[in-house]
């Protein structure tokens, strides 16, 4: 059961790192397996990536120049960024209708800071719902090209619901023009929905981060 809590703005923690350059990975293959389903009117869709077995969407990469790599192994997605300044983002198209009601959910763990990306497209990097290893969360509108990321919810302490240096389940629901965010099943924010340009979802890691994702699920309600 999801329990609402009052959001209290906390101190900005490491915010400057979110404005650093971002290397974007995107696989534009047309839904190569049955993880993707939709009906004939394209108002209802679902996407379920469990990171078991083969990499069907192109999540895996190695980029020595950016000191980053990612792989699928042992039922999870490992995403590493060893760079000093450049964050790294990896998204795939999901077929979700982001102009309608939808929800997206993942379970992640990182030794620094990792985020769930939703609503990315070829013209914009979407939005990132972050949680870090110290128990802080934040919500950012990601930039595009030379445009910097901007904070919607600055880094906010949530040591009750966000587990430190452990697995956390993140979820964002868009319902009737409202976004609601959850950490481990508990509501941590609600706000008017922002404009979304695309249906690519995925992950972002900040410099000096080793992160893991257990799954990525999205669906239209």
Q: Following DSSP, what letter does each residue of 53-113 receive, concatenated?
A: SS-SS---EEEGGGTEEEEEETTEEEEEE--SS-EEEEEEE----TTS-EEEEEEEEESSE
pTM of the model: 0.85
pLDDT tens digits, one per residue of 25-77: 665 443 444 354 444 355 689 999 999 999 999 999 999 988 999 999 999 99
Residue with tokens 């394209």: 42
Domain 3-28+45-220 falls under CATH 3.40.50.970? no
Question: What pLDDT was estimated at residue 10?
Answer: 31
Confidence of residue 24 (pLDDT cuts 50, 70, 90): low
Q: Check whether 212 has a pLDDT greater than 80.
A: yes
Question: What's the pLDDT at 22?
Answer: 67
The answer to which of 9-18, 63-72, 125-134, 136-145 has the lowest mean pLDDT is 9-18
Say what the pLDDT of residue 146 is: 77
Segment 138-165 mean pLDDT: 89
Contact between 109 and 167 under an 8 Å Cβ cutoff? The reply is yes
Statement: residue 175 has pLDDT above 70: yes
Tokens of 108: 């992640």
Which whole number is the average pLDDT over 123-128? 96
């Amino acid at each position: 059961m999801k329990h609402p809590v009052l959001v209290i703005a906390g101190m900005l923690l490491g915010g400057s790192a979110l404005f650093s350059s971002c290397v974007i990975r995107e696989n534009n293959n047309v839904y190569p397996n049955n993880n993707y389903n939709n009906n004939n009117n394209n108002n209802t869709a679902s996407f379920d990536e469990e990171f078991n077995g083969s990499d069907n969407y192109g999540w895996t990469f190695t980029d020595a120049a950016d000191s980053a790599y990612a792989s699928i192994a042992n039922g999870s997605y490992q995403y590493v960024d060893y760079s000093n300044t450049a964050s790294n983002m990896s998204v795939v198209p999901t077929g979700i209708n982001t102009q309608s009601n939808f929800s997206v959910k993942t379970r992640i763990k990182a030794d620094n800071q990792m985020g769930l990306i939703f609503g990315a497209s070829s013209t914009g990097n979407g939005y990132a719902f972050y949680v870090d290893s110290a128990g802080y969360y934040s919500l950012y509108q990601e930039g595009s090209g030379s445009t910097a990321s901007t904070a919607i919810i600055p880094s906010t302490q949530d040591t009750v619901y966000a587990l430190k240096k452990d697995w956390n389940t993140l979820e964002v629901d868009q319902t009737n023009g409202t976004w609601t965010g959850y950490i481990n099943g508990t509501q941590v924010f609600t706000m008017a929905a922002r404009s979304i340009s695309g249906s690519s979802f995925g992950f972002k890691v900040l410099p000096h981060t080793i992160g893991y994702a257990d799954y990525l699920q999205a669906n239209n309600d």
